[in-house]
A and B are shown apart, each in its own frame.
Chain A
Amino acid sequence: SQQGEEDPQALSIQEGENATMNCSYKTSINNLQWYRQNSGRGLVHLILIRSNEREKHSGRLRVTLDTSKKSSSLLITASRAADTASYFCATAGSARQLTFGSGTQLTVLP
């Protein structure tokens, strides 16, 4: 079963706008990770946030984590057409594996 659930399932924005995606999960975690998948390609790791961290930045990406609400958000600022992809959250919990959500399809219109 999927641990992380992304919201929304699909998001369409104009180039230059910010994109926010949310992830909710059910059990305690060691860390939460975000991945990007371009069409027909493998997943690429974007950022990892540990359970004792609340916010993390990497370039135009900002990730927040609220362990009390069991939720995370990924913000992409000043989006570009090249950001068009599917974005997945994945949780690392007590099992020795990641559990992926079903993803958010982001479309950035030029």
Chain B
Amino acid sequence: NAGVTQTPKFQVLKTGQSMTLQCAQDMNHNSMYWYRQDPGMGLRLIYYSASEGTTDKGEVPNGYNVSRLNKREFSLRLESAAPSQTSVYFCASSPGYYDEQFFGPGTRLTVL
């Protein structure tokens, strides 16, 4: 089992460009999450999907959109990137929303 996979691993964007971060899990989990982590800080939840077909905003959703494509895949889209979105992005999944979460390796995004 690959667990949680994320693509790409690294990305550099110019201000105003758009991109989609991909996340997939092969553990048949119901819930999936997108976080961002800034230097010296914990994780802040951007969006989550408690179950297939649902998505909800987290703590810092502005500037992002998500799609729960199917039970396996949960993508995060930046429509018009801004330097404030420079961060490390982590995708995670869990069987249910109170359960332990399994994290992907992260995507390091730099917006110039």
Question: Which residues in A have some Cβ–Cβ distance to B below 8 Å?
Answer: 1-2, 30-31, 33, 40-45, 48, 88, 90, 92, 96-103
Contact = CB atoms under 8 A, between A and B. Distances in A.
Contacts, number: 55
A80 B42 CA distance: 24
Given A96-B48, A96-B50, A97-B58, A45 B101 contact: yes
Measured as residues with beta carbon below 8 angstroms from the partner, the interface class of chain B is: 20 to 34
A98 B58 CA distance: 10
B42 A92 contact: no
B100 A100 contact: no
B100 A97 contact: no
A10 B103 CA distance: 23
Interface of B: 4, 31, 33, 35, 40-45, 48, 50, 56, 58-59, 90, 92, 97-106
A101 B40 CA distance: 11
Nearest to B48: A97
A40 B100 CA distance: 20
Nearest to A41: B105
